[in-house]
Amino acid sequence: FSPDKGAHRAIAVAMELGLPLKMAGKNREPKERQYFAEYVEPHVGHGGIEYLGEVSHGHKVELLQDARATLFPIEWEEPFGLVMIESMACGTPVIATRWGAVPEVIDHGRTGIIVDDWRDTAAALPAADELDSQTMRQEVVDKFSPERMVADYIAAYEAALAA
């Protein structure tokens, strides 16, 4: 948990919409605990806001499969964002702010919704509801599967050898 990841922004969106929010993640480092105590913990237990702690991979998959959407209101240059891939693999749309790798991972309007400001997240939920879960899953296979990654590496090595 850190300000850059935006749990406090996700809480604000859930409260604005009157929807429950389940959060899972690491909260061990002193800075993480301080941020959590100041910005997250005061809301836990109110209006359906839950903190589940760190969860197993299987539990994370269940949470993502059962979610209406994954909120990703980051404000930092996220280098990849595996949680977006995991969410789409479960057929769950992501609503994310346009930072870092977000535009490379999400195909706006097809596999998720990209907003320029986290305050636009609530308004983006109806568009996310319209996205096709099978399209999201197929996009993950096409762009992020191990087979795709290996093929891209081989092509890059062959191009380097040819040069």
How confident is the model at residue 4, as a pLDDT?
95
pTM above 0.85, yes or no: yes
Residue type, 48: G
Q: What DSSP character marks residue 114?
A: E
pLDDT average, residue stretch 24-34:
96
Rg (CA), the chain: 17
Q: What are phi and psi of 115, to 5 degrees?
A: -115, 150
Q: What DSSP character marks residue 39?
A: I
Distance from the Cα of residue 153 to its chain's centroid:
26
pLDDT average, residue stretch 46-59:
97
How confident is the model at residue 74, as a pLDDT?
97
Query: Is residue 9 within 8 Å of 73, Cβ to Cβ?
Result: yes
Start-to-end CA distance of the chain, whole Å, equals 45
For 159, the token pair is 């191009």
3-state secondary structure 109-141: CCCEEEECCHHHHHHHHHHHHCCCHHHHHHHHH
